[in-house]
Amino acid sequence: MNQYVTGTIIRELREKNRMTQLQLADKLGVSDKTVSKWETAKGYPDITLLEPIAEAFRISVTELISGNTVHNANVSANMLKSKFYICPVCGNVIHSMGEAAIHCHGIQLMPLEAEPTDERHMIFIERVEDEYYVRIDHNMSKEHYISFVAAVSSDAVQMVKLYPEGGAEARFKIRGVRRIFFYCNRDGLFSIDPVKGVDDRESGYDDSQERRELEKAADILIK
């Protein structure tokens, strides 16, 4: 664990819950002087008190340690506010539907901020019957690769985990998809509106000069 609950956090939560030091102390079975020591950085609560402290403030132990209180209203309708987290140690991919306090390998993970796709991370999306076929022109070496691709709608997330030396491609059901995300292990998270990236065979867009020029440029960049 790379951090511990601080006296500042305890004081802020106590005041937010309109408790005196004595009231909090009574709930925890300690003296008000002990609480005062925590809040003035003259000591730390024993690890066995973390759960009782969290219960006193009606939050989780993870929220207590991180210092971030999670507030999610109507989470079931918040898929379009999806957040993605990547552990820098093991590469674990974690998805949440809203705010969360996420830890992996003792590290508090921060949600990734998606950037628009660029010339070094070009994505091509083709409609094939009821699916999106997604292809990303990108290296897939052990050192530099796309880790995952995800398609997000208002009520669902479809995710495909990718691996080094494999193909940077995935298929998703089209129904309701509003955003495509993909993660480069060196450059971070990217996203695109699938309509802007779509290559619809019915419209003949895949035969256009613009598409051929884009694909040629992408091939040159990744060689």
pLDDT in tens, 57-91: 988 887 787 776 665 554 444 577 789 999 988 88
% of the chain at pLDDT higher than 90: 47
- Phi and psi at 170, nearest 5°, equal -160, 160
Q: What does the pLDDT read at residue 195?
A: 84
* Residues contacting 33, CB < 8 A, separation 6+: none
Which residue did the predictor score with more confidence, 3 or 9? 9
Q: CATH 2.60.40.730 spans which residues of the chain? A: 115-222
**Inter-residue contact 69 to 62 (CB < 8 Å):** no
Q: What does the pLDDT read at residue 202?
A: 44
Span 190-207, average pLDDT:
64
Q: What does the pLDDT read at residue 220?
A: 59
Find tokens 């674990």 and name the residue.
92
Span 162-172, average pLDDT:
93
**Inter-residue contact 82 to 73 (CB < 8 Å):** no
Span 185-211, average pLDDT:
67
The 3-state DSSP class for residue 89 equals coil
- Fold observed for domain 115-222: Immunoglobulin-like (2.60.40)
Span 27-44, average pLDDT:
90
Q: CATH homologous superfamily of domain 7-66?
A: lambda repressor-like DNA-binding domains (1.10.260.40)
Span 189-194, average pLDDT:
93
Tell me the C-alpha distance between 25 and 94, whole Å: 37
Tokens representing residue 198 in the block: 């779509």
Q: What does the pLDDT read at residue 1?
A: 44
pLDDT band at 200 (very low <50, low <70, confident <90, very high): very low
Q: What does the pLDDT read at residue 179?
A: 93
Span 8-21, average pLDDT:
92
Least confident of 57-71, 141-155, 156-170: 57-71
Bridge partners, 192 (sequence order): 180
Find tokens 């995300």 and name the residue.
181
> Whole-angstrom distance between the N-terminal and C-terminal Cα of the chain?
41
88-142 pLDDT, tens digit per residue, is: 888 899 998 877 778 888 788 889 999 999 888 999 999 999 999 999 999 899 8
**What's the pTM value of the predicted model, to 2 decimals?**
0.62
Return the DSSP state at 183. Answer: E
Q: CATH 1.10.260.40 spans which residues of the chain? A: 7-66
